[in-house]
Structure 1
Amino acid sequence: MKTITITDVANHAKVSKSTVSQYLNKRYEYMSEKTRKKIEETIEELNYQPNIIARSLKQKSTFTVGVVVANILHTFSTQVIRAIENYFYEHGFHIIVCNADDNPEKEKNYIEMLRAKQVDGIIIFPTGDNLDLYQRMKSDQFPIVFMDRTIQELNIATVMLDNHLASKLAIDRFIEKGFENIAIITTSIIRDISPRIERIQGYKDSLASHGVPVNSEYIKTVNADEIPVALSEFFELEKPPQAILAGNDIVLNEVLRYMKQHEIHIPDDIAVIGIDDVPYASFYTPTITTVNQPAIEMANLAAELLLSQINKTGKEDTSVHRLKPTLLSRNSC
């Protein structure tokens, strides 16, 4: 069968090739509804498939962006990916999603693969251990945006949560409910992963603002599989905590599982708040108070920043954009 070309579409629809090209690039402002409809019908009738490679060569763009997440298991990560995909789909781009598993070597391999595929830009949840690679991308003026984590010295556009405020909202709630022996547990802070460090610092600062001394025994940073042991250590203390702040959704899952297995009742035996809302928080028994990240708003901002770099529109933005969390009050505290 003969390959249908853009010229065939134009001849059949009795319009110019440039008009068909404008239609394919969703630039409808210079054509009538009748013309648009005619081109649409012709494409369907002829079963025309645009030559993506030829289009990429002509426009010097693959209309593809990469998203490298640190850990796709986080609810926040999947929410962000979904919103980024939706944003770029509406702008005529596809996305390639890669999961680095918080492994710098895996992250490096994925970034190099995406660049070899000539994606137009990448949104990265950086592991923090590939500084030379990030710097090289910046030196190459390759479009890049960091999400969720920052590396200050690189001056790369970044979108992340106000993590200090996230901890403050939780601590304020605990204090309001009369708790002072408050613990925090996060996943490992190896490689200085900024959200975890900032949430711990926010926890310390918020306790201090209420005149509550910081007890180092109430602070745990461990790998996910070590969380049950860390919780047992909390409850073996002479003064066990009255409340626990779970630093992210993975930690919250482990905390709730531990409480269920050991028949520790929330909130009667211990109060719990998690940073990151999770789908089950509103119907778990009891319902779980969480600090919610504005994931869709953050994703849209990151996508806008990346597209601006790709299209070279506007002034270069190397800011760290911090969006505000909200406390979703429920029955666990």
Structure 2
Amino acid sequence: MKRVTMADVAERAGVSKSTVSQYLNQRYEYMGEETKKKIAEVIDATGYQANTLARSLKQKRTFTIGVIVANILHIFSTQVIRAIEDVCHQQDISVIVCNADDDPKKEEKYITMLRAKQVDGLIVFPTGENKTLYDQMVQERYPLVFVDRLVEGLSVDTFLLDNKAALRLAVDYLVEKQHRYIAIITTSLIRHVTPRVERISGYRIALEQHDLPIHEEYIQGVNVEDISIALAHLLALTPRPTAIIAGNDLTLMEILKSIKRDKKHIPNDFALLGIDDVAYAPLFEPPLTTIAQPAFQIGEAAARCLLEKINSESMNDRRQPGIHRFQPKLVVRASC
């Protein structure tokens, strides 16, 4: 069968090719409802498919963006991706998602691959160890947005939680519940990942504000597979922590596994508060008190910022990049 062309659609709808092109590109400003309806009916009847390659060549865009997440196992990451995809779907933009596994070499590979595919821009949860590559994109004025993690010395729009405020909320609540021995466990601090480092810093600041001593042994930053060991170490200390903060969702999951295996009882054995309001938090027994971060708002804001950069006709249209922090929310349940 002969392939249906834009000219065929225009002829059957009784409009010009440029009108069909405007319809396909969702430029409806000067188009009547009847015209839109006729074009839609012809496209539906003929099964016409736009030539995306020709569209890309003409507009010098692929209408595709790349998202590189540091670790897709984090619930926060999947929620942010969903929000990005929602925004892009509304704009007929495709999204390619890559998981770097917190590995700088994988991240570098994906950045190179996505740019070779000529994606229009990138949203990256940066490992922080490809600074030369990031800087090259900044110098080229390539549309780039960071999520969740800061890279010092680079002027890139970055969207993330106010991590210190999150820990202040957590410690304030635990102190209000009469806890004086408060510990924190998070995943490895070796790579100085922004949320982990800032949350430890926020924890220290909050304890100082309450005139509570900082016990260094109460601060555990370990690999995921060692979290159960870190928990056992904390519970063997004297004085023993009466409350433990799980620094992220992966940490919380490992702590809950240990609780089940060792037949511990929350909050009798120790109070537990998680950073990240995971979906199962209200389903656990007892329901888990958490600090929620607005993942969907962060994802939406990052996507809109990137599309704004892509759609800017010149760098003069772009505002100065900045750090955009979002406020946490305490969700009180029964684990503290």
TM-score, normalised with respect to structure 2: 0.98
State how far apart, in whole Å, the 2-side matches of 1:241 and 1:76 are: 27
Letter in 1 for 2:234: F
Post-superposition offset of 1:53: 0.5
Correspondences of 1:272-311 after superposition (within 5 Å): 272-311=272-311
Residues 305 and 317 of structure 1 are in contact (CA less than 8 Å); yes or no, is this contact kept in structure 2? no
From 295, 318, 321, the equivalent of 2:321 is 318
Q: What SS class does the counterpart of residue 154 from structure 1 fall into?
A: coil
State how far apart, in whole Å, the 2-side matches of 1:228 and 1:71 are: 20
Residue equivalent to 2:76? 76
Does residue 1:234 correspond to 2:237, yes or no? no
Q: What SS class does the counterpart of residue 134 from structure 2 fall into?
A: helix
Letter in 1 for 2:170: A
Does residue 1:144 correspond to 2:144, yes or no? yes
Post-superposition CA distance 1:27-59 (Å, at most 9, x none): 122111111011001011111111111000001
Unaligned runs of 5+ in 2: none
Letter in 2 for 1:73: L
Residue equivalent to 1:330? 333
State how far apart, in whole Å, the 1-side matches of 2:142 and 2:88 are: 18
Q: What SS class does the counterpart of residue 128 from structure 2 fall into?
A: coil
Does residue 1:191 correspond to 2:194, yes or no? no
Post-superposition offset of 1:195: 0.8
TM-score, normalised with respect to structure 1: 0.98
Q: What SS class does the counterpart of residue 280 from structure 2 fall into?
A: helix
Residue equivalent to 1:161? 161
Correspondences of 1:261-280 after superposition (within 5 Å): 261-280=261-280
State how far apart, in whole Å, the 1-side matches of 2:159 and 2:46 are: 44
Does residue 1:2 correspond to 2:2, yes or no? yes
Q: What SS class does the counterpart of residue 192 from structure 1 fall into?
A: coil
Does residue 1:218 correspond to 2:218, yes or no? yes
Residues 108 and 130 of structure 1 are in contact (CA less than 8 Å); yes or no, is this contact kept in structure 2? yes
Residues 165 and 325 of structure 1 are in contact (CA less than 8 Å); yes or no, is this contact kept in structure 2? yes
Residue equivalent to 1:45? 45
Residues 185 and 244 of structure 2 are in contact (CA less than 8 Å); yes or no, is this contact kept in structure 1? yes
Residues 121 and 310 of structure 2 are in contact (CA less than 8 Å); yes or no, is this contact kept in structure 1? yes
Does residue 1:93 correspond to 2:96, yes or no? no
State how far apart, in whole Å, the 2-side matches of 1:153 and 1:228 are: 36
Residues 309 and 318 of structure 2 are in contact (CA less than 8 Å); yes or no, is this contact kept in structure 1? no
Letter in 2 for 1:319: G
What CA RMSD, in Å, does the superposition of the two structures yield over aligned residues? 0.9
Post-superposition offset of 1:12: 1.1
Q: What SS class does the counterpart of residue 273 from structure 2 fall into?
A: strand
State how far apart, in whole Å, the 2-side matches of 1:41 and 1:308 are: 32
Post-superposition offset of 1:22: 0.9
Letter in 1 for 2:305: L
Post-superposition offset of 1:129: 0.7
State how far apart, in whole Å, the 2-side matches of 1:178 and 1:269 are: 15
Post-superposition offset of 1:294: 0.5
Post-superposition offset of 1:216: 0.1
Aligned length, in residue pairs: 333
Letter in 1 for 2:146: F
Q: Which runs of 4+ in 1 moved over 4 A?
A: none
State how far apart, in whole Å, the 1-side matches of 2:10 and 2:108 are: 44
State how far apart, in whole Å, the 2-side matches of 1:190 and 1:130 are: 16
Residue equivalent to 1:182? 182
State how far apart, in whole Å, the 2-side matches of 1:214 and 1:158 are: 31
Percent identical among aligned pairs is 53
Q: Mean alpha-carbon deviation: is it higher for 4-13 or for 62-71?
A: 4-13
Post-superposition offset of 1:317: 3.1
Residues 309 and 316 of structure 1 are in contact (CA less than 8 Å); yes or no, is this contact kept in structure 2? no
Q: What SS class does the counterpart of residue 96 from structure 2 fall into?
A: strand
Residues 245 and 275 of structure 1 are in contact (CA less than 8 Å); yes or no, is this contact kept in structure 2? yes
State how far apart, in whole Å, the 2-side matches of 1:274 and 1:286 are: 13
Unaligned runs of 5+ in 1: none
Post-superposition offset of 1:235: 1.4
State how far apart, in whole Å, the 2-side matches of 1:104 and 1:188 are: 16
State how far apart, in whole Å, the 1-side matches of 2:30 and 2:261 are: 65
Q: What SS class does the counterpart of residue 153 from structure 1 fall into?
A: coil
Post-superposition offset of 1:164: 0.1
